[in-house]
Amino acid sequence: MSHYAFGDSSANLHVYVEKAPPSEELWGEAPESGHVKALQEGDIKSLGNIGGNGWRKVFNVYAKLLFTFPESSPFKPSGFSSWQDFRDQALLQYQSGTSLLFGDWDVERNARQGGIHIVAGRTHALKLGLSEQCVWLDNEFAKHATLPIFICPYFDYRQLSNLKIERLVGLIEGSQR
């Protein structure tokens, strides 16, 4: 299976989902396998329009997650008045500190290179071979025993509510101490 990513190639926060939006419709082809494509302003809106409400939710939840971090966190975006502004003007763009990875990545190898790695969805974590490597804190959240890898519900309002976003931020912040 092809794997590629959107975002900043030197990101410090990485989110993994199984399937990519229909980016071929926007650019004529998918990014090359193994590569990270920095989005441009307007691309998230276009991908949401092409891919539908599900992709709008993924981008919204990602931006809300970042805005839930405390001001002192290196993951909290600065210079934006709202998560919507950050989503529209910087999320998954060059120097945003964020990436969204699709397909079969070696998450453990990536995590050894630094940053926080979040796998969205139990099923995807299982397919990536991570479920057994992680300590399940409950039915929805898990943390890798030795690496900065977290498993959480899929990035959708119904699965990863504001309360669950706060829980995920707490787990990440707790691992940084």
Residue 139 lies in a domain: yes
The whole-model pTM stands at 0.96
Residue 170 lies in a domain: yes
Determine how β-strand 98-102 pairs with β-strand 13-17: parallel
Residue 105 lies in a domain: yes
The answer for residues whose C-beta is within 8 angstroms of residue 51's C-beta and 6 or more apart is 21, 22
Strand, coil or helix: what is 28?
A: coil
Residue 28 lies in a domain: no
Judged against a pLDDT cut of 90, whether residue 27 lies above it is answered with no
**Torsion, Cα of 82, 84, 85, 89 (10° steps):** 150
In the numeric block, which tokens belong to residue 1? 């299976």
Residue 140: half-sphere exposure toward Cβ, Cα within 13 Å: 14
Q: Count up the domains in the chain and report the number.
A: 1
Q: Supply the pLDDT for residue 32.
A: 85
- Residue 176 pLDDT level (bands cut at 50, 70, 90): confident
Residue 27 lies in a domain: no
**Domain around 12:** 4-22+33-175
Residue 162 lies in a domain: yes
Share of the chain above pLDDT 70, in %: 99
For 84-110, write each residue's pLDDT tens digit: 999 999 999 999 999 999 999 999 999
Judged against a pLDDT cut of 70, whether residue 1 lies above it is answered with no
CA dihedral sign of residues 166, 167, 172, 177? positive
In the numeric block, which tokens belong to residue 79? 């210079």
